[in-house]
Amino acid sequence: MSLSEFDRDTAVTLREPGVYDADLSGGWAIGSALNGGYLLATMARALGDTMPHPHPFTVSTHYLTATAAGPATVRAETVRAGRTLSTGAASLFQTGPDGREVERIRVLATYGDLATLSEDVRTAAKPPEMPPYEHCLGSEHAPSGSSPAMADRLDMRLDPATVGWAVGAPSGKGEMRAWFGLADGRDPDPLSLLMTVDALPPTAFELGIGGWVPTVELTAHVRALPAPGPLRVALSTRNLAGGFLEEDAEVWDSADRLVAQSRQLARAVRG
CB atoms within 10 A of CB 184: 15
Residue 119 binds a second copy, judged by CB under 8 A? yes
* Dihedral sign from CA coordinates of 50, 194, 266, 212: positive
**3-class secondary structure, 8:** helix
Rounded CA-CA distance 179/233 in Å is: 6
Find the angle CA(99)-CA(96)-CA(73) to the nearest 5 degrees.
95
Pick the closest to residue 212 from 76, 24, 109, 63 (CA basis). Answer: 63
Q: For a second copy, what does the binding mask look like between residues 192 and 221, x meaning CB under 8 A? A: ---------------x--------xx-x-x
**Bridge partners (DSSP) listed for residue 267:** 244
Q: How far apart are CA 100 and CA 137, in angstroms?
A: 44
Q: Is 240 in the site for a second copy (CB under 8 A)?
A: yes
Residue 96 near a second copy by CB under 8 A: no
| Amino acid at residue number 146 | S
Asked if 246 touches a second copy (CB under 8 A), the answer is yes
Among 8, 96, 244, 256, binds a second copy (CB under 8 A): 244
Instruction: Write phi, then psi, for 112 (nearest 5 degrees).
Output: -150, -160
Count residues contacting a second copy (CB under 8 A)? 52
Site for a second copy, residues 66 to 85, rule: CB under 8 A: 79-80, 82, 85
103 binds a second copy (CB under 8 A): yes
Site string for a second copy, 23-62 (x = CB under 8 A): ----------------------------------xx-x-x
Q: Under the rule (CB under 8 A), what is the footprint of a second copy?
A: 57-58, 60, 62, 64-65, 79-80, 82, 85, 87, 89, 103, 106-110, 114, 117-125, 173-174, 207, 216-217, 219, 221, 223-224, 237-244, 246, 257-258, 261, 263, 265, 271
